[in-house]
Structure 1
Amino acid sequence: MAAKSVTRLLGGLVVAASLGSASLSQSIASRILVKNVAIVGGGASGAHAALRLKEDYGKSIVVIEAADHLGGHVSSYHDPTTGRDFDYGLNSFNDYGPARDIFTRLSVSVTPAAHGDLASKSVDFASGQLVNHTGPAIPDMFAALGKMYGIVKQYESLMIPSYAQFPAPSAIPADLLLSFGEFVIKYSLQAAVPQIFAITGNGLGDLLATPTLYVLQAFGPATLESFLGIAGAPFVPSSGRNAEVYEAIATRLGSNVLYSSKVVQSLRTGFGVVLWVQGGDGKYTLVLADQLVMAIEPTPENIEPFNPTASEKAVFDKFAYSTVYAGIVSHPSLPTNASLVNTVPAAAPSNYLALPKPNFTVAFTPIDPAAGLWSVGVVGNEALTSDAAKALVTSNINAMVASGVLPGVSGAKVTFKAWAVHGAMHARVSAAELKADFIRKQVALQGKTSTWWTGAAWSSTATSILWAYNDLLLPKIVAASPA
């Protein structure tokens, strides 16, 4: 950061204090960090951006991360009894764009992701009753996925890896504005729906009511190419721990990451930003940076400390989200040889458009029956709390025991071995907002008040696509920074 910029920012602090817009003074800080780029959020997007800015562009950086580690939705559990590690957040990485190059750079070996081949039982988790549901035949599923790919591939450049080419409202393809249910019916893609819902669509909550544009951001051309064998198969670290890649990035970044820290106040200007950062120890660090990269979901709560501009609020206040939780549980009644899949009664016998709606538990899947471990996921609306999600999991198991679907074990309780709060995910707006030029208004926010935005709300939920998005965004950030 140039001395002139530092002087102007410090002068801005004096002005902010005199206007009463900064409740915390400069003197509260125990230290001051001066950087080219400050990055808020050390998930998939933030960690990757920090690595590349530091190593490929020679920029001084600092990452402000609320957790005690990098990686965001990557969650790994170490079983102290068996010594084994289990992933229960992100499952695998798509072979798209720069993904393999990043693993090679970090010396993290990879292997193809394993395919689950367990039998499954369809159960209405609310009542605990079995549902006589038959999934589509494998050839029919692949035929539907192939047909879908042929349709949506033409729209890929409008969405992936960025919205930079997204058209004016009058030119938005009609398919992208349809609810996904309407899209499925229009093209007779019903046999593809269970697979889409099981992999990533369930995080969208009410999948069939969601505009097709946003479903394709969660399960789009890149994912379809993996399923259909057009692209390389998804992969994972050979160690079996998806967190390994972020641990490697953390090692490279070293002390440039402020863990267990959060921005509590900020000053954003056209010539740099000032961030008041509070650490887990209660102490404050003042960060002065030429550019700010926001790698967190732009929820009202997340962006409040950054005094969002009117233009930012006009965009971000329109977003709706799902709230997602993932965990590993233990209960003696759960089956060791099959997954339990939440299935609404209306799905019987083969209605693929009858799906659970928020709030719901997705499935119970055995990951190490000998150790008594099952993975579980919960999808809810924005108001679903962590405690309520856990209570839902417990209620579902109790309902299956009461109905006789699961054997009763006297006094048995659900043990939560690990629990990850993924928080607000799958930012989306209505078709009406899309028709009102929402996407281009969102893209136009980039670079204003020295602030840049990355993450799933700007690209896709897939890590490899997020990294490809960063590869387009970072040169712009660098170009906007003083030499």
Structure 2
Amino acid sequence: MLSVSWKLSRQFPPLVAIPFALSLGAALPFADANDLPDIIYRDVAVIGGGASGAYAAVRIRDDFHKSVALIEKQNILGGMVDTYVDQKTGKTFDYGVQSFLNVSGATDFFARFNISIGSSSSSSSSVTEYIDFRTGSKVDFEPPSSSKQISAIAKFLEVIEPWESMLFPGYWNFPEPSDIPDDFLIPFGEFLTKHGLEDGAPIIYASTGLGVGNMSEVTTMFALQSFGWDMARGLTGKMGLFTPTSGGNQVLYDAIAKDLGDDVLYSSTVIDSRRTDFGVFLTVRNHKTNKVTLIIARRLLVAIEPTKDNVKTLDLSPVESSTLAKFTYSNEFAGLVDNPVFNESTYYFNLPSSAAPDNTLVYQEDPMVASFQYTGLENLFRVMVIGNTTTTADEAKALSQESFNTLLKSGRFITSGQEQELSWAAFATHGAMHARVTVDQVKAGFFQDLYKLQGARSTWWTGGAFSANFQTQLWKFDEGLIPKILKGL
């Protein structure tokens, strides 16, 4: 212990020795009887190796020359990228993240790892068939023409452009309650109707808007977080979309993993913490080996959604707990199924019967299966499930099975018949996304209170709840956050 305290005193003020002793004491019961925990010292500890956490770890270590420890609960980096590799052909399909928005500097991040990129194409030979997945009935919905939809998106961009700095790349400039634009706080369907943008609704919903569930009922400012400025620019040709030319989107995060090497603690979670104004002390356990590691860091970056389960071991203050508890989320799930009864030329899309013949603002309530979409790989269809705050992976799979059986029995596939089990080739829980609060909470200064958490007790926050759920926009948010994290180091 004396050697540990001496080493600690070289990096932290003397007062930090007290919480360190508490952290060490908390960790010992979790260690094997004959195996004391490892102790590592870092400038910055990062929790979460998804888009925001992995990017920040690379930038902080490689470009700002500070030591890092990245804690990731999975055995790979990348979060919800989800690249499937066909073992027979080697072909890949990204059933999570589909493409990257060419936000400033995004392509340079790929270039540093020598990853070639190309334009993303969403063209498909599939014909969209609108079906009410609750009944299996075909919905005779006729969407506006593609040209009308794109024209509406261009007009949509004109309407929302003046507000961009209020929401992107985070809430740093979010207006005081008395200055919030009225349009921010009305339901999104009402917003689209008010500005004559109904023709753009189908493409908004089908691309990313469906992530919030019934898009028409969601408060406009949160709908803008699921489909906003850069998505509109991408669809109107003002911003490019790109993907790696080979290896799928996971290839980037595999390259990051190789770069960071032993600075990543895989299959690991924080089981105890002490956070102070002088630094943080994290007790981390590998859930495969049961190995315990103590991380002593000057700063902490939390790069996971701040749900109750995710932050329960982070020694939250009453203010942190009460603020973060106000968030509600969508839970998203994605998978691949290979039942041969699907028609490869059909894109099965879930809409309520009331959408017919041309009601662009009517959607299913969550939880729901959004679609079954052909991947281009033999028999494989992508399944998207949008759940509410409490939806579990088992419930998402059960809902997929129920919708599949409904479509099967109603004759929507190549062959009809009785129930059969979905054959899952892959399944991923994307977890809590599209964090939002009530209108009354926004008016009461929620986002001002949220950002007061930044920097408190040596802790900083990134990810979708503090920015937006798009990979490269999270990187842009990190770019503004990193200098704040490192100030004084």
| TM tier, smaller | over 0.9
| Separation in structure 2 between the aligned mates of residue 80 and residue 214 of structure 1, nearest angstrom | 39
1:18-58 deviation per Cα after TM superposition (whole angstroms, max 9, x unaligned): xxxx7434994521010000000000000000000001110
1:227-254 deviation per Cα after TM superposition (whole angstroms, max 9, x unaligned): 11122x2000010500111111111100
Q: Does 1:377 align with 2:369?
A: no
Across the aligned residues of Structure 1 and Structure 2, the Cα RMSD in angstroms comes to 1.7
| Equivalent AA in structure 2 for residue 282 of structure 1 | N
Alpha-carbon spacing, 1:325–1:347, altered in 2? closer, same or farther (3 Å): same
Deviation at 1:440, TM superposition (A): 1.1
Contact 1:161 1:459 in 2 (8 A): yes
Partner of 2:5: none
| Equivalent AA in structure 2 for residue 414 of structure 1 | L
| Separation in structure 2 between the aligned mates of residue 161 and residue 478 of structure 1, nearest angstrom | 19
| Separation in structure 1 between the aligned mates of residue 368 and residue 216 of structure 2, nearest angstrom | 15
Match of 1:155 among 154, 163, 176: 163
1:263-316 deviation per Cα after TM superposition (whole angstroms, max 9, x unaligned): 000000000000000012011000000000000000011111012112211211
Partner of 1:66: 73
Contact 1:97 1:465 in 2 (8 A): no
| Separation in structure 2 between the aligned mates of residue 345 and residue 26 of structure 1, nearest angstrom | 58
Alignment of 1:232-247 (within 5 A): 233-247=240-254
Deviation at 1:9, TM superposition (A): 3.0
Partner of 2:3: none
Alpha-carbon spacing, 1:182–1:271, altered in 2? closer, same or farther (3 Å): same
Deviation at 1:3, TM superposition (A): 1.4
Partner of 1:352: 360
Alpha-carbon spacing, 1:403–1:478, altered in 2? closer, same or farther (3 Å): same
| Separation in structure 1 between the aligned mates of residue 486 and residue 336 of structure 2, nearest angstrom | 41
Match of 1:298 among 302, 306, 312: 306
Partner of 1:187: 195
Q: Does 1:366 align with 2:369?
A: no
Report which stretch shifted further, 31-40 or 73-82. Answer: 73-82
| Separation in structure 2 between the aligned mates of residue 365 and residue 240 of structure 1, nearest angstrom | 21
Partner of 1:97: 104
Partner of 1:76: 83
Alpha-carbon spacing, 1:411–1:137, altered in 2? closer, same or farther (3 Å): closer
Q: Does 1:144 align with 2:152?
A: yes
Partner of 1:272: 279
Q: Structure 1, unaligned stretches of length 5 or more? A: none
Contact 1:112 1:235 in 2 (8 A): yes
| Separation in structure 1 between the aligned mates of residue 90 and residue 127 of structure 2, nearest angstrom | 26
Deviation at 1:181, TM superposition (A): 1.5
| Separation in structure 2 between the aligned mates of residue 26 and residue 333 of structure 1, nearest angstrom | 53
| Separation in structure 1 between the aligned mates of residue 247 and residue 162 of structure 2, nearest angstrom | 35
Deviation at 1:104, TM superposition (A): 1.1
Partner of 2:175: 167
Q: Does 1:24 align with 2:32?
A: no
SS in 1 for 2:230: helix
| Separation in structure 2 between the aligned mates of residue 267 and residue 181 of structure 1, nearest angstrom | 45
SS in 1 for 2:435: strand
Deviation at 1:206, TM superposition (A): 2.5
| Equivalent AA in structure 2 for residue 77 of structure 1 | Y
| Equivalent AA in structure 2 for residue 460 of structure 1 | A
Q: Does 1:428 align with 2:436?
A: yes
| Equivalent AA in structure 2 for residue 148 of structure 1 | F
| Equivalent AA in structure 2 for residue 341 of structure 1 | F
Contact 1:204 1:426 in 2 (8 A): yes
SS in 2 for 1:127: coil
Match of 1:460 among 456, 460, 468: 468
Q: Does 1:316 align with 2:329?
A: no
Report which stretch shifted further, 327-336 or 249-258. Answer: 327-336
Report which stretch shifted further, 255-264 or 391-400. Answer: 391-400
Alignment of 1:384-395 (within 5 A): 384-395=391-402
| Separation in structure 1 between the aligned mates of residue 404 and residue 167 of structure 2, nearest angstrom | 39
| Separation in structure 1 between the aligned mates of residue 315 and residue 405 of structure 2, nearest angstrom | 45
| Separation in structure 2 between the aligned mates of residue 401 and residue 196 of structure 1, nearest angstrom | 28
Contact 2:23 2:283 in 1 (8 A): no
Report which stretch shifted further, 267-276 or 93-102. Answer: 93-102
Match of 1:57 among 61, 64, 67: 64
Q: Does 1:474 align with 2:471?
A: no
TM-score normalized by structure 1? 0.95
Alpha-carbon spacing, 1:183–1:27, altered in 2? closer, same or farther (3 Å): closer
Deviation at 1:140, TM superposition (A): 1.5
Contact 1:340 1:365 in 2 (8 A): yes
| Separation in structure 2 between the aligned mates of residue 188 and residue 253 of structure 1, nearest angstrom | 49
Match of 2:454 among 446, 452, 456: 446
| Separation in structure 2 between the aligned mates of residue 400 and residue 57 of structure 1, nearest angstrom | 54
| Separation in structure 2 between the aligned mates of residue 314 and residue 362 of structure 1, nearest angstrom | 33
Alpha-carbon spacing, 1:170–1:111, altered in 2? closer, same or farther (3 Å): same
Alpha-carbon spacing, 1:212–1:240, altered in 2? closer, same or farther (3 Å): farther
Contact 1:332 1:409 in 2 (8 A): no
SS in 2 for 1:24: helix
Deviation at 1:11, TM superposition (A): 2.3
Contact 1:110 1:236 in 2 (8 A): yes
Q: State how many pairs are aligned.
A: 475
Q: Does 1:178 align with 2:186?
A: yes
Deviation at 1:409, TM superposition (A): 5.3
1:355-391 deviation per Cα after TM superposition (whole angstroms, max 9, x unaligned): 011011111111135x210111100112211111111
| Separation in structure 1 between the aligned mates of residue 419 and residue 177 of structure 2, nearest angstrom | 59
Contact 1:87 1:241 in 2 (8 A): yes
| Separation in structure 2 between the aligned mates of residue 402 and residue 2 of structure 1, nearest angstrom | 70
SS in 1 for 2:425: strand
SS in 2 for 1:465: helix
Partner of 2:346: 338
